[in-house]
């Protein structure tokens, strides 16, 4: 069984790293070649087919987080992010979680929510009754728009209604609950909503306006849990400090936003690598953080009876492994192969575990030495490169900047001139 616990992966050369990844994921020579293309894996012509008015491509660093064991399975986790220290932090968090068996994660089925807005409905309670009585007919029409989902026993499953009071008057919202399988599901959800809206208009009168999915995917919740051994964390005081740091985030919106941004560092980096809709994930997560009526921490941290640190992370995730850019972008396809997931639920488990691992490392650093010690060393490398240093000069300049506590672009330029 492949092992994701790789000693000193960060010290290895690019070729050594690629060889490890190739053996772990059984990559072909063509796939290895794609990973080494300097344009990020897509040509201008490919980019021009993905978006409008294309003028080029924009690459971001692709790295691998190690040490992840999730529901008993080892993963090497591809992450795309420009911020230093994130991949290292996720790997370190996964390494500590691994001591107590890694991450235990549960993911809901992939239920998408579609909404149809109805205006000018004269009797909303009566309209709701009519829709409920016609639910079978509405669901049948919706499912006729996707033979694939219907054959798999998936598709539109339920209809619900709610009344919304707006300044312009009352409106009726009809919601479709759709099992979209291993897809993110935006397109099929929108298609079904648009297809059934004329029928709903006929049933209740009124006028349909918006017919679109909701990205607030509360029926696609994933929950990760991990235990971090007290001594590996740093002892009782450090555990207590981390719990106090969490309580700060859970009770102060200014801290909560930054705390949750750190969680997103992990989740969105994986989502980027796998070609997911990161904006949908971010929007849903932030709405979920405010589900109690107050914006709070997405994660929770506590102690078990033995004094070990226990972390949980619960987030809604609209993600998929079929359709969309995930099946078009060559590098996203390779990253999916490296990760080795076979369902949207499994991908959701990995994304959520990575967010929790990242949160552990960030909150531990904040509660002990401070976030800057490790982060600034990595930031110094970016500054040295920006100053024009060659790869051979970067380490010398970084060491000097840290010794002189002058980690700035001007400082890097001065040191480069001296060299």
- Mean of all residue pLDDT scores within the chain: 93
pLDDT of residue 380: 78
227 vs 325 pLDDT, higher one: 227
pLDDT given at position 373: 59
Domain residue ranges in the chain: 9-108+220-370, 111-214, 373-418
Q: Do domains 9-108+220-370 and 373-418 have the same CATH topology?
A: no
Q: What is the pLDDT at residue 406? A: 73
Is 83 labeled as catalytic in the residue annotation? Answer: yes
Q: Which of 129, 170, 261, 291 is catalytic?
A: 261
Catalytic residue among 95, 277, 329, 346: 277
Q: Which of 62-71, 322-331, 392-401 has the lowest mean pLDDT?
A: 392-401
Q: Return phi, psi of residue 58, to 5°.
A: -135, 115
Mean pLDDT of 383-394: 80
CATH tag, 373-418: 1.10.8
Res 243: pLDDT? 98
pLDDT exceeds cutoff 70 at 274: yes
**In whole angstroms, what is the distance from residue 145 CA to residue 155 CA?**
9
Between residues 399 and 50, which one has the greater pLDDT?
Answer: 50
Q: Would you call 400 a catalytic residue per the annotation?
A: no
Catalytic residue among 104, 154, 375, 400: 375
Q: What is the mean pLDDT of the segment spanning 175-195?
A: 96
pLDDT score, position 141:
96
pLDDT classification of 399: cutoffs 50, 70, 90: confident
At 374, is the pLDDT very low, low, confident or very high (cuts 50, 70, 90)?
Answer: low
Confidence check: pLDDT of 418 > 90 = no
CA distance 159 to 65: 41
pLDDT of residue 283: 97
Who's near 111: CB < 8 A, 6+ residues apart?
157, 177, 178, 179, 180, 217, 219, 220
Q: Mark whether 259 is an active-site residue.
A: no
Active-site pick, 33, 82, 83, 123? 83
Who has greater pLDDT, 343 or 10? 343
pLDDT of 104 strictly over 70: yes
pLDDT tens-digit map of 117-173: 999 999 999 999 999 999 999 999 999 999 889 889 999 999 999 999 999 999 999
261 is catalytic: yes
| CATH class of segment(s) 9-108+220-370 | alpha beta
- Based on its alpha-carbon atoms, the radius of gyration of the chain, rounded to whole angstroms, reads 24
Sequence-distant (6+) residues with CB within 8 A of 92 are 67, 357, 361
Q: Is the pLDDT of residue 370 over 80?
A: no
Fold of 111-214: Alpha-Beta Plaits (3.30.70)
Banded pLDDT at 382 (limits 50, 70, 90): confident
pLDDT of residue 375: 60
Q: What is the pLDDT of residue 103?
A: 98
Is pLDDT above 80 for 391? no
């Amino acid at each position: 069984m492949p092992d994701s616990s790789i000693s000193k992966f960060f010290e290895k050369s690019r070729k050594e790293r690629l060889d490890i990844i190739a053996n772990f994921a059984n990559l072909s020579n063509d796939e290895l070649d794609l990973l080494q293309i300097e344009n990020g894996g897509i040509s201008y012509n490919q980019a021009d087919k993905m978006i409008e008015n294309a003028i080029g491509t924009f690459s971001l660093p692709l790295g691998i987080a190690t040490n992840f064991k999730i529901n008993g399975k080892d993963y090497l986790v591809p992450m795309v992010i420009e911020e230093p220290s994130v991949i290292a932090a996720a790997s370190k968090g996964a390494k500590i979680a691994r001591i107590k068996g890694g991450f235990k994660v549960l993911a809901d089925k992939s239920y998408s929510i579609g909404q149809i807005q109805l205006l000018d409905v004269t009797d909303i309670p009566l309209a709701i009754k009519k829709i409920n009585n016609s639910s079978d007919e509405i669901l049948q029409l919706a499912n006729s728009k996707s033979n694939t989902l219907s054959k798999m026993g998936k598709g539109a499953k339920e209809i619900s209604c709610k009344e919304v009071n707006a300044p312009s008057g009352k409106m009726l919202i009809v919601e479709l609950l759709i099992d979209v399988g291993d897809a993110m599901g935006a397109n099929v959800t929108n298609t079904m909503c648009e297809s059934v809206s004329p029928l709903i208009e006929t049933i209740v009168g009124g006028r349909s306006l918006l017919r679109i999915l909701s990205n607030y995917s509360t029926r696609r919740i994933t929950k990760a849990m991990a235990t971090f051994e007290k001594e590996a964390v740093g002892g009782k005081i450090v555990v207590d400090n981390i719990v106090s740091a969490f309580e700060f985030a859970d009770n102060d919106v200014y801290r909560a936003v930054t705390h949750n941004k750190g969680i997103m560092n992990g989740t969105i980096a994986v989502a980027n690598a796998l070609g997911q809709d990161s904006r949908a994930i971010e929007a849903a997560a932030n709405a979920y953080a405010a589900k109690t009526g107050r914006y709070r921490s997405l994660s929770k941290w506590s102690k078990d009876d033995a004094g070990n640190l226990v972390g949980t992370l619960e987030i809604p995730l609209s993600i998929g492994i079929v359709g969309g850019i995930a099946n078009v972008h060559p590098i996203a396809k390779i990253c999916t192969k490296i990760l080795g997931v076979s369902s949207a639920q499994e991908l959701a488990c990995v994304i959520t575990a990575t967010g929790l691992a990242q949160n552990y490392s960030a909150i531990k650093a904040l509660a002990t030495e401070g976030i800057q010690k490790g982060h600034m060393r990595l930031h110094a490398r970016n500054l040295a490169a920006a100053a024009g240093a060659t790869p051979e000069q970067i380490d010398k300049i970084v060491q000097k900047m840290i010794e002189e506590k002058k980690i700035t672009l001007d400082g890097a330029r001065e040191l480069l001139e001296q060299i």
